[in-house]
Chain A
């Protein structure tokens, strides 16, 4: 994904990837990510059978 430069690129990116994004009733794609120190990996599937999960996606701008 390159840096998005304008509204047209933003709309195109969203439409492209939203087509494959999970909907209600779909299994959530699993992932493993690390924190801002590059440590403490977290895997989404580790919470199965334990508790619901809220995912908040965003950036600083």
Chain B
């Protein structure tokens, strides 16, 4: 189950927002660009980048967000967290996380902490349940 497919199936009924946040594994941080993890991820066909330094300015962050959107091709428009990481902190989103919010602004699905809690299939089930309840 990919986010791309979920977006294609539900984008008329659900608003999707991709929020680009601080890099997870930049060259100048917890880098996976070498060794066993690099081999494993390259074999998995992952489209993530290994050649990025953690952006230090908003302009650099926007550029990285654009490169990310172009490479991953989710189809979801990307918005960029500010350099104070406020939205990232509010949602404990680093390195990756999914949420579903209902029409009243209430959280109805809170994905687990990434990367292991990142489960698009669980998100899809929550969307289906929400849409079914909306019809009753």
Binding site for B on A (CB under 8 A): 1, 3-7, 9-10, 13-14, 17-31, 33-38, 42, 44-45, 47-61
Contact = CB atoms under 8 A, between A and B. Distances in A.
Q: Is the interface of A mostly helix, strand, loop or mixed?
A: loop
B15 A54 contact: yes
Interface of B: 3, 6, 10, 13-26, 28-30, 32, 48-50, 52, 54, 58, 62-69, 71-72, 74, 76-82, 85-110, 113-114, 123, 127, 130
B17 A56 contact: yes
Contacts of A24: 107-110
29 contacts: A3-B23, A10-B30, A10-B94, A10-B95, A14-B92, A21-B110, A25-B106, A28-B99, A31-B86, A33-B19, A35-B77, A37-B62, A47-B103, A48-B103, A51-B13, A52-B100, A54-B17, A54-B100, A55-B19, A55-B91, A55-B97, A55-B99, A55-B100, A57-B91, A58-B21, A59-B22, A60-B65, A61-B23, A61-B50
A52 B30 CA distance: 35
A56 B85 CA distance: 15
B52 A22 contact: no
A25 B106 CA distance: 6
A38 B15 CA distance: 20
B23 A59 contact: yes
Given A29-B87, A29-B90, A60-B72, 11 more contacts: A22-B90, A24-B107, A34-B79, A34-B80, A35-B80, A50-B15, A55-B98, A56-B98, A59-B23, A60-B20, A60-B49
Contact of A38 (B26, B58, B108, B109): B58
Nearest to B105: A48
